[in-house]
């Protein structure tokens, strides 16, 4: 028998879970009345699809497991007649009843084909088929603000949990040395977006304790960073670069350092202020001015003070150079947007994790409060959301929308998205 091509098993399970079918006059294929009091909890592991469902069939209230299929015959196609896990279901729900329910024990069968609105299937197909920026582009702005608000809060929690997971693994690796983890994390963020791995490699090749021995000596800090980055390996004619080579040569021998290959750095299609050389020079200045950076982050009274920690000037050479040996009239340091990006993506999640680890709500609330005070990020994703009428008032909201685009919209997980589910059900 014919099954609507717009209907997938995933969508059918979603329709059942949220009762998006007409619930009047439901009957089993045997003619008994059916009332769905609770569809059950979706089981994502082995066994029947839903558990602990409450279904009134005729005059009897049943509590137990429910199995769903697009066709009745799928029961046999999937081999459930041989699996004792399916021997005690209370109801078999199908879209099309295409054969007698023989071999399924005593479980009654409910056919939903005539009870699912065709408009619902059409909305779902539209979300799956259309892909301008996000599948729900024509409808997103019509979703009630309260649904957007609660969904953004959930998305932010998901995004930060992903970030915090990496930070937590680093803490476990280095026995909860918060200053060193902060050093690694901030170094990685200085490489955003295309040099995160090389920056992290440089940082992790230079033990934090070693750098702290030279915390007041900017030239030595620069020599260590540029040397480990592989940027002092080539012959140099520039006086400053030659000086760095000389200092690094001594430190390399003293600490038995092995530099990375210079070809691992990316230079293409970026503004000069984002060149790896400028970022390394600025990072060296940050280490020199705030050697115990994490302690200062904890002490920051407000978001402005936190920003000021990261507004540092590199050494004088980098006021007229973006690369070794190539002078310009004047350079630009990484700007306010770059600093705020470091706070949003690295510093505040780390502060939140510190609060979690120390069971201190103060630092968790402080991190979220600072995130709310920072302006939303400006990039092609957040700008595209704004053009759809989905605005952002703070970095908290822009972070949520980045999570939505990257982990729901791009993967067409409309059924798992509160916005998609609302649109499918009817805004």
- Say what the pLDDT of residue 132 is: 67
- 299-309 average pLDDT score: 96
Q: In which region does residue 412 sit, left (phi positive, over 0), alpha (psi from -120 to 50) or beta (all else)? A: left
Whole-structure pTM value: 0.75
- Could you tell me if 110 and 34 are in contact, meaning their C-beta atoms sit under 8 angstroms apart? yes
Bond into 353 cis (ω within 30): no
Q: Give the 3-state secondary structure of 359-397.
A: CCHHHHHHHHHHHHHCCCCCCHHHHHHHHCCCCCCCHHH
The mean per-residue pLDDT over the stretch 139-163 comes to: 94
Answer with the residue of higher pLDDT: 132 or 96.
Answer: 96
Residue 394 has pLDDT above 90, yes or no: yes
pLDDT surpasses 70 at 82: yes
Report the percent of the chain where pLDDT is more than 70: 95
Mean pLDDT of 214-226: 96
Q: Residue 104 — very low, low, confident or very high, per pLDDT cuts 50/70/90?
A: low
pLDDT confidence bin for 9, thresholds 50/70/90 = confident
Cα 370 from Cα 343, distance rounded (Å): 9
Look at residue 127 in the predicted model and tell me its pLDDT: 67
Model pLDDT for residues 360-384, shown as the tens digit of each residue? 899 999 999 999 999 999 999 999 9
Q: Any idea which of 181-190, 214-223, 266-275, 400-409 has the lowest mean pLDDT?
A: 266-275
30 phi/psi in degrees, rounded to 5: -95, 0
The alpha-carbon radius of gyration of the chain (Å, integer) is 29
Choose among 120, 49, 147, 168: nearest CA to 426: 120
CA distance 45 to 127: 27
When pLDDT is averaged across residues 331-360 and rounded to a whole number, the result is 93
pLDDT at 16 over 60: yes
pLDDT of residue 42: 87
How sure is the predictor about 88, in pLDDT bands with cuts at 50, 70 and 90? confident
* Average pLDDT along the chain: 91
What pLDDT score does 359 carry?
Answer: 86
CA dist 110 and 34 (Å) reads: 8
Mean pLDDT for the stretch of residues 7-23: 86
pLDDT given at position 15: 86
Angle at 296 between CA 372 and CA 195, to 5 degrees: 70
**Rounded mean pLDDT, 297-320:** 96
CB 265 within 8 A of CB 196: no
pLDDT at 3: 65
Q: Write out pLDDT tens, residues 253-281.
A: 999 999 999 999 999 888 899 999 999 99
User: Within 5-117, where are the H helices?
Assistant: 9-17, 74-77
| CA distance from start to end of the chain | 32
What is the structure's pLDDT at 44? Answer: 80
- Is pLDDT larger for residue 219 or for residue 423? 219
pLDDT, tens only, 231-253: 998 888 899 999 999 999 999 99
Could you give the CA distance from residue 173 to residue 208 in angstroms, rounded to a whole number? 14
Mean per-residue pLDDT, 147-172: 95
Pick from 77-86, 223-232, 313-322: least confident = 77-86
pLDDT at site 124? 76
84 or 34: which leads in pLDDT: 34
User: Is residue 81 helix, strand or coil?
Assistant: helix
3-state DSSP call for residue 113? helix
Q: With residue 418 as reference, give the H or E element that holds it.
A: helix 418-425
What pLDDT sits at residue 118? 83
4 CB-near residues (< 8 Å, 6+ apart): 95, 118, 121
Task: Indicate whether 179 pLDDT > 80.
Answer: yes
Is the pLDDT confidence value at 101 over 60? no
What pLDDT was estimated at residue 427? Answer: 60
| pLDDT higher than threshold 60 for residue 103 | no
């Amino acid at each position: 028998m014919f099954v609507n091509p717009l209907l997938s098993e995933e969508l059918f399970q979603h329709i059942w879970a949220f009762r998006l079918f007409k619930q009047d006059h439901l009957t089993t294929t045997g003619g008994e009345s059916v009332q769905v009091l609770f569809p059950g909890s979706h089981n994502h592991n082995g066994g029947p699809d839903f558990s602990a469902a409450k279904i009134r069939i005729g005059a009897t209230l049943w509590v137990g497991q429910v199995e769903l299929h697009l066709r009745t015959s799928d029961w046999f196609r999937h081999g459930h007649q041989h699996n004792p896990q399916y021997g005690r279901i209370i109801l078999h729900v199908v879209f099309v009843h295409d054969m007698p329910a023989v071999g399924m024990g005593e479980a009654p069968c409910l056919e939903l084909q005539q009870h699912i609105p065709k408009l619902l299937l059409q909305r779902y197909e539209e979300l799956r088929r259309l892909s301008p920026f996000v599948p729900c582009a024509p409808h997103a702005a019509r979703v009630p603000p309260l649904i957007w608000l609660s969904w953004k809060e959930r998305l932010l929690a998901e995004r930060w949990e992903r970030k915090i997971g990496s930070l937590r693994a680093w803490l476990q690796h280095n026995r909860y040395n918060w200053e060193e983890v902060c050093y690694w994390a901030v170094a990685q963020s200085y490489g955003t977006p295309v040099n995160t791995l090389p920056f992290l490699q440089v940082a992790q090749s230079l033990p934090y304790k070693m750098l702290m021995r030279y915390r007041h000596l900017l030239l030595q800090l620069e020599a260590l960073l540029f040397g480990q980055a592989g940027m002092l390996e080539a012959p140099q004619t520039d006086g400053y670069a030659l000086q760095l080579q000389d200092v690094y040569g001594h430190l390399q021998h003293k600490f038995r350092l092995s530099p990375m290959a210079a070809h691992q750095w990316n230079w293409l299609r970026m503004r000069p202020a984002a060149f790896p050389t400028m970022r390394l020079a600025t990072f060296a200045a940050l280490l020199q001015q705030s050697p115990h950076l994490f302690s200062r982050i904890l002490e920051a009274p407000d978001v402005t003070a936190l920003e000021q920690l990261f507004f540092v000037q590199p050494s004088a050479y980098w006021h007229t150079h973006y690369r070794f040996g190539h002078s310009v009239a004047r350079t630009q340091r990484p700007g306010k947007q770059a600093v705020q990006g470091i706070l949003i993506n690295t510093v505040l999640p780390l502060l939140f994790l510190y609060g979690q680890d120390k069971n201190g709500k103060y630092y968790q609330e402080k991190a979220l409060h600072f995130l709310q005070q920072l302006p939303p990020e400006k990039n092609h994703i957040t700008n595209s959301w704004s053009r759809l009428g989905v605005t952002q008032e703070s970095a908290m909201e822009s972070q949520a929308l980045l999570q939505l685009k990257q982990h729901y919209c791009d993967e067409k997980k409309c059924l798992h998205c509160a916005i998609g589910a609302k649109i499918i059900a009817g805004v």
